[in-house]
Structure 1
Amino acid sequence: MPGGRSHHGHAQPERFARFFEGLEVVGPGIVAAEERHPEFGEPVPGQEGVHSGAYVAVARKA
């Protein structure tokens, strides 16, 4: 993209939350994808602390 910007990357959690209106978001809530299940593995060397720009959540009908 010109200027190095992407229309698809780095959405804020508040903008992502709109997809869960009318639902009950369960713990840990809306978090960065790499924070959802940190027990699944070690960070890629050199990528520690890097934010993917992707958010995830689990919700159920309220």
Structure 2
Amino acid sequence: MTAEGWTIIGVAIALIGIFTPVLMGIRRDLTGLIRDVAGLRERIARIEGLFEGFSRRDGEAQSHSA
């Protein structure tokens, strides 16, 4: 094998060595982001439930007094 072939193999190994930790970090960040979005979704649903309960109580009170 020529020197160019060994250089190409060495560069490929170096790139794999560099990009593997970077990609794993990105994956870890995305997993955390997905978890955060799921938590936010639950919190928004809870707030929406409070608003629905508030608006129903308001609507019921007006219909009884009218």
> Common fold, TM-score beyond 0.5?
no
* Bigger relative contact order (CA 8 A; separation at least 6): 1
More strand by share: 1
TM interval, shorter chain, is: under 0.3
More helix by share: 2
Larger radius of gyration: 2
